[in-house]
Amino acid sequence: MTIKFAHLADAHLGYEQYRLPYRAEEFRKALEEAIRKAVGEKVDFILIAGDLFHRSNPSPQTIKEAMDILEIPKKEKIPVFAIEGNHDRTQKKISAYHLLESLGLVHLIGFSEERKENRYQTTEKVRGRLLVKGVFEKGGKSVEIYGTKYMSAAWFERNRLSDYFRPQGDAVLMLHQGIREMMEKLHLETQRDYFEISLSDLPRGFMYYAMGHIHRRWITSTESGIVAYPGSLQRWDFGDYELRYRWDGLKFRKVAGEEKGFFIVEDFKPRFVRLDVRPFYDIRIKGDEETVKKELRKLAPEISKEAFLRVSLEWERPFDVAFLHDVFSVRYLHIRTKFGRRKLSREKGTKAEEFFTPMELKIIRLLGEKDFDDYEEVIRLILEGEREEEAGGKEKKRKEEKKVREKPEEKRKEAPEDKKKEKPKKSEKRPEKKSDLMLWLSKR
Ligand SMILES: [Mn+2]
């Protein structure tokens, strides 16, 4: 007899995406569809790996939506195990999950203030803390469900998961965290705030790592077991597209995104189950007004009226984009414009040194350093730079550098005039520089 369970995450109940109340209803529907499908598959239990709610203080309506949906598995005697995510955990003792737990709709997993001993939960004491784990038994087989709510990067600096989670038999670990390798692989944000752990931080000995937090689907296997993110139930943003149309200069190239859904896990192997969700399309085009208008009109019939659409325009010269509303009759249209990247640097062999003064370069490097907080040093550099400038000896050199930086070719001829205009009068020079700078820097 095999154990079969559903693993979902990031339902974000109550999320009025783009301030559209009907999106909250669509997020609700997605969760209901997922739960109904799981129940239809006759799973033994359901895992919700965090961010069931969009906020830690969901509205009464949102709480009721969760209650109504979780009533479905309860009626079928299918237990639901859950952890809190970063969106819906609370620093207070009681979160919305505790409310659901009191109603017997979920069983919370993780560190706890009190012992829980019942058919589906048991408590152990690890390093002086109470740790509640889920237990599921069927036909002589049993699975332990370990896990914790979302923990901050600061927690991971002082703690290791392997200090707390040491499975004996068949076990699953449920976490709501970002994993570095996933972020890199999917080219998502790789700033430190977006992941707290690496694959190597996962404690060994679990058959399956039921992950939440990152809204994209990802499966990888480690020495001990499979690590799986089902992704959010609904599309999260335009990076989470169903289809992207990328202009290659002559025509659009279609890039398929991924479907949204959750996992049915049998024998600790995940199988993806898709959900019917709102389509998101992402169009990127570059060119002059005529080309853009012509090509987008040609493309328009392909775009579903029900879609959420983002059009990113890259142009040399701005033009009125109001026509897009006539071309695309979609549910939601997001227009984004930007100027084509000026081809400075590499092609012409220009180096950073030619754009910035040595002082500016030093500052840029400093500010870019990890854990930067030495504002005094930056102020010292700026003041030093200005003193040098005033000293005049280097003034000529600096002006030349400045000229290069302001590049645009046509302006070069006018440079002498510009110089006159821009030359700051001595009296205009920022007088109380130090305090102003402190203020500005501290607001960074
Ligand atoms: Mn989330």
Q: Is the pLDDT of residue 432 over 70?
A: no
Measured in Å, residue 212 CA sits from the centre of ligand 1 at: 7
pLDDT of residue 365: 80
Which residues are identified as catalytic?
87
Ligand 1 centre distance from Cα of residue 5 (Å): 21
The whole-angstrom separation of Cα 196 and Cα 339 is 35
| Residue 232 CA, ligand 1 centroid: distance in Å | 7
pLDDT reading at 430 higher than 60: no
- CA of residue 82 to ligand 1 center, whole Å: 14
Q: Which residue has the higher pLDDT, 401 or 9?
A: 9
Q: What was the pLDDT predicted at 247?
A: 94
10 Å CB burial of residue 434 (0-12, 13-18, 19+) is middle
Position 378 scores a pLDDT of 79
Half-sphere exposure of 143 (CA within 13 A, CB side): 26
Query: pLDDT value at position 24?
Result: 97
The domain 237-258+277-341 is placed in CATH, from the list 3.20.20.140, 3.30.2350.10, 3.40.1010.20, 3.30.110.80, at 3.30.110.80
User: Does pTM top 0.85 for this prediction?
Assistant: no
pLDDT number for residue 363: 82
pLDDT of residue 415: 40
Q: Which tens digits make up the pLDDT trace of 340-350?
A: 866 555 555 56
Q: Among 92-96, 130-134, 310-314, where is mean pLDDT lowest?
A: 92-96
Q: Which residue has the higher pLDDT, 247 or 380?
A: 247
How is the chain split into domains, by residue range? 4-234, 237-258+277-341, 345-423+430-442
Instruction: Tell the CATH topology of 4-234.
Output: Purple Acid Phosphatase; chain A, domain 2 (3.60.21)
C-alpha 217 – ligand 1 centre gap (Å):
12
How far away, in angstroms, is 117 Cα from ligand 1 center? 29
